[in-house]
Amino acid sequence: MDERPHEPQPFGERVWPPEREEAAEPLPPSARWYGAPAPPVRRRMPRWAGRAVIVCVALVAGAALIAGTVVVVLRTVAPESPATVIVDALAGVRYPLPPGWQEGALAPVTAFTSIASKAAAPDVPNGGQALVMVRPGPAIGARSLREVTLELTDLYSRLLLHGDAVDIVDDLSASVGGFPAHRRSLRAEYEDVVNRPAYLRVVVLDRGERTVVVVALAQPDDPVARRGIDAIVSGVRA
C-alpha cells in the first residue's frame, strides 16, 4: 500500500463554478432551490373559440349599426318642437309664432298689448320688416262687425301706411278661433324710389262682451311675410 500522502492540488488549478456554467445565463438566487424558470408555454386558441369571438364581434357591430340607424330615423321622423306661443292675458288670446318670428317687447302703436315681429332679410333695404299687433277692444254694440273693421282699417291706414296709392286686397267675413271675425287688407304704393309697397291687414274678432283687434303690417309686401301673418292670425285662440 502506498502510504504516501496525496499532494494537494494547488487552488490555482481549480475552477468554480465549472466553465460550462459560466456560459449559462445568470439565474436569480431562487433558482438554486427551484431550478431555472421555464419559458411560458404559448397556448393556441381552439378553433371553435376563435369562431365564437368572430361571431360575437359581428353581432356587436351589427347591433351598433342598427341602433345608430334607429336613432337617425327617429331624429328624421320626430315631430318638430312646438312653436313658441305668445299669451296675451289682457286681450284674452294666445297665438303661435312661425319660424323666424319673435315676441316684441313694445308695440309701435299705443293700446296694443302684445306684438310679434319678423326681422327683414339681409338683402331687404330700408329696414323692411313684418309686425302683428294684438289688443283688446270694446264690444261692437249696435254696429256691425264689418263696420267696426272698416273704421279701424281706415284709422291704421292713415297712421301706418301713408301711401300715395292704396288698394283694397280683400274685405271678407271669417271665423278665427271659433269666433266671428271680419278681415280687411290694403296694399299701399309710393311714388318715391325709396319706399317699397306695404301691406296692411286688420282683423276684428267678436267675443260678445268685447272684441280682439289684430293689426298686421309688412313692408315690403311679399308672399313670405303674408304667409307668416296668415299663420299667426289663423292661430289666434281664446
Q: Per the confidence metrics, is the pTM higher than 0.85?
A: no
CA 107 – CA 82 distance, rounded (Å): 25
3-state secondary structure of 114: strand
User: How far is residue 224 CA from its own chain's centroid?
Assistant: 21
| pLDDT at residue number 137 | 96
Cell 323692411 sits at which residue? 128
Per-residue pLDDT of the chain (238 residues; tens, 9 = 90+): 455 555 554 444 444 455 544 444 454 554 444 454 555 555 555 555 555 545 444 444 444 444 443 333 333 333 444 459 999 999 999 999 999 999 988 777 889 999 999 976 555 444 458 999 999 999 999 999 999 999 999 999 999 998 999 999 999 999 999 999 999 999 999 998 788 999 999 999 999 999 999 999 999 999 999 999 999 999 999 9
C-alpha cell at position 29: 438566487
Three cell numbers written together for 134: 294684438
Count CB atoms within 10 A of the CB of residue 155: 12
The DSSP annotation for 151-216 comes to HHHHHHIIIII--SEEEEEEEEEEEETTEEEEEEEEEEE-SSSSPPPEEEEEEEEE-SS-EEEEEE
Residue-by-residue DSSP string for 21-70? HHTSPP--TTHHHH-SPPPPP-PPPPHHHHHHHHHHHHHHHHHHHHHHHH
Q: List C-alpha distances in Å: 18 to 13, 21, 199.
A: 12, 6, 113
DSSP assignment of 122-144: TT--TT-EEEEEEEEE---TTS-
What would the CATH number be for the domain defined by 85-234? Answer: 3.40.1000.10
91 close to 113: Cβ distance less than 8 angstroms:
yes
Tell me the residue type at 120.
A
Do 229 and 218 touch, CB atoms closer than 8 A? yes
Strand partners, 86: 95
SS3 state of residue 119: strand
Between the alpha carbon of residue 15 and those of residues 18, 24, 55, 231, the distances in Å are: 6, 15, 62, 108
